[in-house]
Structure 1
């Protein structure tokens, strides 16, 4: 059976609305302190990021309950499968919209998969509900508070999941009872989904590792070696082996090469006397749509703000990275500042402009490497992520499916979830534009990308990056999640737009404010 819920396009759900709706649901439920997952982009982070980072969340608009009754009855009836399920069939409700999946162009294709399942299964029938991303969190919170939670939620990334921490089912007992084979997934990706309490509440599905995108044409013009494209045994690698530029491929090397690739209108690079930072026409590097503070901080090492004692402590390596990136924008200038990013030259999509040599971002960024006429950009390839103090982190965005903890049909819900993971995984991933977490179906996915980007992209870099996810994730749960996230992300604009910012002092201020917010939330 198929049920569509279409409400008005709005904005991101606010913390107040969401927390009020969840108060009732929180009473009597297991309080899980961390749910680990874009980027996704989604794009979109999410969504997405993707999006996120192509899918990063829109703003809130109140849901319009009057619209649902106003749906046209004839259309709704027409969407029902031709045959009614057997009366003893178990209905599994699937909620789509908290992450990707509720765009108009995605709905019919998912409906076809649902209809095919329902026509071939007498024991289980799937009922799917599509809700626009902008109102999905509010809708789901209302359902949970009313004791009417769906069985399956997803696909959804970690950030989308965090607003409902404590609401997801531990899958370990079902994995054990069914003998489900986790070996089809890379061990590192399974471990990335293990929560702080040791429970696995989701299986790897859609994966978006990060990599260094680099402009081959700019490197060729400068006569510089390309960044390395293979990780060494310990994850690190050497740049420019056998050349005068030889050295460890780390963030210091990115800065060195980035300055050489940063050019002003007189043709001087950022290392030469007379270089005019305020008249730059080409830049060496950017965090491409990965500038939210917790995301960019992770490039210097994985970490999380919530400590075991329940207090907030910003990881030292994140503050170091924030200082590094702030100086790169406002002192040496090899990274564009906000004014330059918004200029006609870079047009808000800096690397795609062809005027930036390197960009660290996620695989979902292939969504946006096109010119104004829709022609795919062919000037780029992929390199591995640089190390920091010997450690490599290929920051991971990912989407998964969750089962609600209060489902009355855990066995049937798990059967449907594994059907998504196994039988129709490639169909769903194609609809969502996501790389498979399963290595055995990745070749078909990349073959499709090669048809668009036929310059010979080194896709192996993306796959290899999956070995180095950020554990713990930069999107790990925090108390008062939406309020905390909003506070932290104020720093993004400050780093990019304020040359006088005292990063250390601001980080200390944010940490103190988080502790106040969390203490108030406990009270």
Structure 2
């Protein structure tokens, strides 16, 4: 047995910031062609096409920068990504660069764990820092306004619909539902229940939720106008009337209407197991090998509060505790310049205003049509609200997940459970 405890994400990032203050003189800045450096970037993708693109960008960079001998992209498991990254930081094995999820952004940005990028981006020929959308970069700026990470992916959540499965169940298509003014969560659940009864397959799935990643449900509760905490982050609002109504809908979908897989059940839309899935457009590439012949892209369904959109973000930053922070920041400037941003756009919607248009996106997203991009994707990026984020995200995530366990039973006390969530996280929000 061992009594050792893993560092929380917040604590690990704090350790990294403290380590930086004590050893700043030993980091980076001395690379040359005679003494080249190796750079490592942690990522959560293991997609071969994406990694091949990253490698090609790295090879182009190294051809003009002999002071860098090697750039590797280190895939980490998505579900444990932040924990693994912060463990590396606390253990003295930091990467030079890292992807950062939006829900962990406040911790990384506020702790000083990331190298400010403004100067190196501004000094890079042709970078055009002013082209970056102010709304896209807001989450990634520190209290002084410095850009701590570049939001290489600003990806809206949308709905993919399997019209083959809807036809099998005798249900209308997604396009027909929209044309009839029925594109709303109530109708989606009704249709999902019909699909489940007729085919045994799932109605709708919130991808990556799996009854553990509760913040993915913001893609649903946004339709009720609900928020997990106040705008200043100081007060829990998980027990608000809007949130109670949203979770009542979700509970009914799982346990009564059976329009959504219940706890312990899974369904993969891209394997043909569900009629609808809520996910990001970056998943569109999965359609090519899914076997689904007739599918559609649609915005998030309306809720009682009307239309809304939710976006997920990912930033890439240079770790201040890394061995080569200056070289890492310079590679990030190349990795995210206009030319490479356009290449990355085939998987990750860009933060550049000049590239946020259907013409650019359709060239990089051959699976989607220009109409889908212009009418659904671009407006969602422009008006979307970023998924919930807060300092101490790892502790809050675990506390909410644990408290919500009581909700995922047939006879749950929904208002009481959500009140218990607030009791659990109010002390964490105050930190």
- TM-score (structure 2 length as normaliser): 0.72
Deviation at 1:323, TM superposition (A): 1.9
Larger radius of gyration: 1
Aligned with residue 313 of structure 2, among 380, 387, 398: 398
* Stretches of structure 1 lacking an aligned partner (at least 5 in a row): 1-13, 31-83, 229-237, 268-279, 343-347
Aligned with residue 293 of structure 1, among 207, 210, 214: 214
- Are 2:270 and 2:290, in contact at CA under 8 Å, matched by a contact in 1? no
2:24 corresponds in structure 1 to none
Alpha-carbon spacing, 1:101–1:120, altered in 2? closer, same or farther (3 Å): farther
Give the Cα–Cα distance (whole angstroms) in 1 for the partners of residues 215 and 143 of structure 2. 19
- Are 2:39 and 2:72, in contact at CA under 8 Å, matched by a contact in 1? yes
Alpha-carbon spacing, 1:315–1:176, altered in 2? closer, same or farther (3 Å): farther
Q: How does 1:292-331 map to 2 (within 5 A)?
A: 292-299=213-220, 300=222, 301=225, 303-305=227-229, 308=232, 310=234, 312-314=236-238, 316=240, 317-331=242-256
Aligned with residue 7 of structure 2, among 8, 16, 31: 16
2:57 corresponds in structure 1 to 113
- Aligned residues: CA RMSD: 4.4
Give the Cα–Cα distance (whole angstroms) in 2 for the partners of residues 144 and 337 of structure 1. 37
Matched positions, count: 402
2:26 corresponds in structure 1 to none
Deviation at 1:502, TM superposition (A): 1.3
- Are 1:215 and 1:354, in contact at CA under 8 Å, matched by a contact in 2? no
Q: Which has the higher contact order (CA 8 A, sep 6+)?
A: 2
1:360 corresponds in structure 2 to 278
Find the residue that maps to 1:27 and give its secondary structure: helix
Alpha-carbon spacing, 1:282–1:518, altered in 2? closer, same or farther (3 Å): closer
Give the Cα–Cα distance (whole angstroms) in 1 for the partners of residues 102 and 195 of structure 2. 40
Deviation at 1:378, TM superposition (A): 2.1
Alpha-carbon spacing, 1:168–1:319, altered in 2? closer, same or farther (3 Å): farther
Deviation at 1:421, TM superposition (A): 0.8
Q: How does 1:101-140 map to 2 (within 5 A)?
A: 110-121=54-65, 125=68, 127-134=70-77
- TM-score (structure 1 length as normaliser): 0.61
Q: Which whole-Å deviations, capped at 9, do the CAs of 1:375-425 have from their partners, x for residues lacking one? A: 532221111223345554322223221133467987655432221112433
Deviation at 1:266, TM superposition (A): 8.0
- Are 1:188 and 1:469, in contact at CA under 8 Å, matched by a contact in 2? no
Pair 1:169-2:115 in alignment: yes
Q: How does 1:248-287 map to 2 (within 5 A)?
A: 249=183, 253-256=184-187, 258-260=189-191, 262-263=193-194, 281=200, 284-287=203-206
Deviation at 1:136, TM superposition (A): 6.9
Alpha-carbon spacing, 1:478–1:500, altered in 2? closer, same or farther (3 Å): farther
Deviation at 1:143, TM superposition (A): 6.2
Give the Cα–Cα distance (whole angstroms) in 1 for the partners of residues 197 and 87 of structure 2. 60
Give the Cα–Cα distance (whole angstroms) in 2 for the partners of residues 138 and 266 of structure 1. 40
Q: Which moved more, 1:20-29 or 1:509-518?
A: 20-29
Q: Which whole-Å deviations, capped at 9, do the CAs of 1:50-71 have from their partners, x for residues lacking one? A: xxxxxxxxxxxxxxxxxxxxxx
Q: Choose between structure 1 and 2: higher helix proportion.
A: 2
Q: Which moved more, 1:323-332 or 1:284-293?
A: 284-293
1:80 corresponds in structure 2 to none
Q: Which whole-Å deviations, capped at 9, do the CAs of 1:477-497 have from their partners, x for residues lacking one? A: 332x323212323466655x4
Aligned with residue 331 of structure 2, among 416, 422, 438: 416
Q: How does 1:87-486 map to 2 (within 5 A)?
A: 87=34, 94-97=39-42, 99-100=43-44, 110-121=54-65, 125=68, 127-134=70-77, 141=86, 144-145=89-90, 151=96, 153-159=97-103, 161=105, 164-165=108-109, 166=111, 167-172=113-118, 180-191=127-138, 193-194=140-141, 198-217=145-164, 222=170, 224=172, 226-227=174-175, 239-240=178-179, 245-246=180-181, 249=183, 253-256=184-187, 258-260=189-191, 262-263=193-194, 281=200, 284-290=203-209, 292-299=213-220, 300=222, 301=225, 303-305=227-229, 308=232, 310=234, 312-314=236-238, 316=240, 317-338=242-263, 341-342=265-266, 348-350=267-269, 352-353=271-272, 355-356=274-275, 358-369=276-287, 374-390=289-305, 392-405=307-320, 413-422=328-337, 423-427=339-343, 433-438=347-352, 440=355, 443=359, 446-447=362-363, 449-450=365-366, 453=367, 458-460=372-374, 461-471=376-386, 473-474=387-388, 476-479=389-392, 481-486=393-398
Q: Which moved more, 1:203-212 or 1:440-449?
A: 440-449
- Are 1:158 and 1:398, in contact at CA under 8 Å, matched by a contact in 2? yes
Q: Which whole-Å deviations, capped at 9, do the CAs of 1:201-253 have from their partners, x for residues lacking one? A: 2233123211122233455674747448xxxxxxxxx943xxxx546x5xxx3
* Stretches of structure 2 lacking an aligned partner (at least 5 in a row): 22-30
